[in-house]
Amino acid sequence: MSARRTASKQGRKRPSAGQSPPKGWDGLVEAVELRSVTADEAHCSIDRDQLVASKGKKLNAVSNLNSEVPSRIGSELSCKFRLEIALRDVAKTDDNDAQPIVIVGLVYRATYDLAREVRTTKVLLEAFRDRVSLMHVLPFMRAHVVDLTARAGLAPLLLPLMKRRGVDHVRSQPSEEKGHS
């Protein structure tokens, strides 16, 4: 589905209280076409000693999803997202010095073509990033997190479905942990 179609549906959706689309929204979503979604970086690091020591213990996953101000160069629009997930022993969650047992990191970028000249502002570009671009990138990030953790011998981590404000948490599938031996 094109960004235009997705964005147009988002733009025509009745806004929540206090969340009306910024000025210029309709013009931007009508002019934009999704060109690509790319993974710029992906890594999964595991402290195997801590992982073995944590066998049978509950792990707490904390995620952090950040985005940059979208960049626009000529007729190209680019939105970049950085996700980091850290798994720690629940018993050590309050210990700021406790090192994560597992860290998963991803950087994704969505690139769009503007079919015609559109006047943009920082507020308009940020709204597009938060309302449209993130929805294009998130399914790829979710699949990549599942794949990375499964390949690392862990129970796959599932990102929750998206909420308007961002990713709140990550949960592990209810299946048994793999890789603890």
User: What secondary structure, in 3-state letters, does the chain show?
Assistant: CCHHHHHHHHHHCCCCCCCCCCCCHHHHHHHEEEEEEEEEEEEEEECHHHHHHCCCCCEEEEEEEEECCCEEECCEEEEEEEEEEEEEEHHHCCCCCCCCCEEEEEEEEEEEEECCCCCCCHHHHHHHHHHHHHHHHHHHHHHHHHHHHHHCCCCCEECCCCCCCCCCCCEECCCCCCCCC
State the Cα–Cα distance between residues 154 and 141, nearest whole angstrom. 17
Residue 179 resides in a domain: no
**Which one has a higher pLDDT value, 129 or 13?**
129
pLDDT tens profile 55-77: 888 888 889 999 999 999 999 99
pLDDT band at 150 (very low <50, low <70, confident <90, very high): very high
Residue 8 has pLDDT above 50, yes or no: no
**Residue 170 reports pLDDT greater than 50:** no
Q: Is 18 a member of any domain?
A: no
Task: Give pLDDT tens digits for 41-57.
Answer: 999 999 999 989 888 88
Give residue 10's identity as a one-letter amino acid code. Q
Is 162 within a domain? Answer: yes
Q: Is residue 177 part of a domain?
A: no
Determine the structural domain holding residue 132 and report its residue range.
36-117+128-172
Q: Considering the domain boundaries, does residue 158 fall inside one?
A: yes
The whole-model pTM stands at 0.76
Q: How many domains does the chain have?
A: 1
Question: Does a structural domain hold residue 150?
Answer: yes
Max Cα-Cα span within the chain: 59
CATH number of the domain enclosing 64: 3.10.420.10
Q: State how far the Cα of 3 lies from the Cα of 128, in Å rounded to an integer.
A: 10
Residues 90-102 pLDDT 10s:
877 666 667 899 9
Residue 152, token pair as written in the block:
């690392």
Residue 13 in domain: no
Q: Rounded distance, CA 3 to CA 146, Å?
A: 25
Q: Is residue 104 part of a domain?
A: yes
CA distance 159 to 166: 11
54 CB burial (10 A radius; 0-12, 13-18, 19+) = buried
pLDDT of residue 96: 66
